Structure 1
Amino acid sequence: MKNIFDFRQAEAQIKFNQWNEHSDAVVILGVETTALHCPEIIEISVIDTSGNVLFDSLVKPKGEISEIHRITPDKVADAPTFPEIWPALYNILKDKLVLIFNADFDHGAIVNSLAYPAEINQARGLNTACVMREYALLYGGKWPNLAEACGNPTDHRALANCLATLEIIKSCHDPSFTEEDLKRVIAYEEIDQLSRRIRSISYQIAELVEEQQELLKRQKEWYKQYVLGIEGTKDEIAVTTVDPDIDDDLPF
């Protein structure tokens, strides 16, 4: 079991465990897009956690294709458009947790590739999770790219992206870390936060006591000098005890 002391790290570990242990409920999706800005899907694949291919298709986009992968315009010239494949794809995704390495980008590209409001709403309603985010939380540091996380170069194809993401998910599985361990980490973090708060309150109390003492000294000085008409040094005033019923004798 990894040494896990951080709540977010612990939560990430539990998610990886759940993804591996409840494999019937999840699928893994990968895409390739026209560009990084306003992307459209040009290839999309879906696999299950055993690596079985559930969907794999090139897609003909509306816009131009940039040179960030090996998919050229001639390869997608006769491919279906994304709205044409969407009904079949949506039937695979709609009741699953869809694991995507870079979920924000890929999910956004799916939405951007659709045309009709009903289909766009379907896409927006998909239940997705970002593998890259949870990986970064589990191991700390910056969010890695796919090749960094899986430890191997990728060839910028949708199915290869799915398989690399699956490899990451499986490598992060740690069944020795349980829900009870997560509860323990939460308890330690709560204890630490409470301890910090207690120390902070203690410092505030000390400051308030110090301020209170100074105010009491000033109160005695003003009372003796201007109410009782007694003048003396500050030291004499400071050691003088104020009558507990002082407030009843004040003329204001």
Structure 2
Amino acid sequence: MILDTESTGLYDGEIVDIAIINHLGKMLLNMLIKPSIVLPPEVTEIHGISEVMVADAPTFHEVYPTDAALKDKRVLIYNSAFDIKILNYCCRLHTLPILKLAERADCLMEWVAQWAGNWSYYHSYYRYVPLNGGHRALLRLHGYF
């Protein structure tokens, strides 16, 4: 499975968009999610998701049972540390069990950094390659993977 999310921000951000595709590129989940906070305008500029778009969307609590799509599966995530942090935050916010993805997730951002070979001697690791442009989670999955 390949997963991507968009959120309300970097710190204590809530998921506003989630997409999951399988290894063949078949969409398993593609959904906007209504956060409990107002979407900051600077975040809307990044991913293009507005308050109007999420106004009638389900909440994370309503979407959570879709975890069955991820159960016992290896999950590939671009910037897995960030998406797992945001997913866990949303689980805690809605008093839901943590998804425990960390032990079965691989970070595609690290793979791409190694493939690109952009080594930082200063930091002693491969530099991450950002995915540019406004995007929704599913478009990013299909556009880059």
TM-score (norm 1): 0.49
Q: CA RMSD in A?
A: 1.7
Q: Any gaps of 5 or more consecutive residues in structure 1? A: 1-26, 148-153, 167-252
Q: Which has the higher strand share?
A: 2
Question: Cα deviations across residues 105-125 of structure 1 (Å, max 9, x unaligned)?
Answer: 111111111222x522x3456
**1:211-222 superposed matches below 5 A:** none
Alignment of structure 1 residues 1-252 onto 2, 5 Å? 27-66=1-40, 67=44, 68-88=46-66, 90-114=67-91, 115-116=94-95, 118-120=96-98, 122-124=99-101, 127-141=104-118, 142-147=127-132, 154-166=133-145
Asked which structure has the greater CA Rg, the reply is 1
Specify the code of the residue in structure 1 equivalent to 2:48. Answer: R
- Letter of the aligned partner of 1:156 in structure 2? H
Alpha-carbon distance in 1 for matches of 2:128, 2:102:
25
- Tell me how far apart the structure 1 counterparts of residues 11 and 117 of structure 2 sit (CA, whole Å): 28
The structure whose residues are more often helix, as a share, is: 1
Within 2, Cα distance between the matches of 1:42 and 1:123? 20
Instruction: Give aligned-pair identity as a percent.
Output: 35
Task: Return structure 1 stretches of 4+ with deviation > 6 angstroms.
Answer: none
The one-letter code of the counterpart of 2:113 is: A
> Kindly tell me: are residues 93 and 81 of structure 1, through their superposed partners in 2, closer, same or farther at Cα, counting changes over 3 Å?
same
Which structure ranks higher in relative contact order (CA pairs < 8 Å, sequence separation ≥ 6)?
A: 2
- For 2:131 and 2:31, how far apart are their aligned partners in 1? 21
Task: Kindly provide the amino acid, as one letter, of the partner of residue 164 in structure 1.
Answer: G
Secondary structure of the 1:119 match is coil
Structure 2, unaligned runs of 5 or more: 119-126
Distance 2:112 2:101 in 1: 23
- 1:162 Cα deviation from its structure 2 partner: 1.4
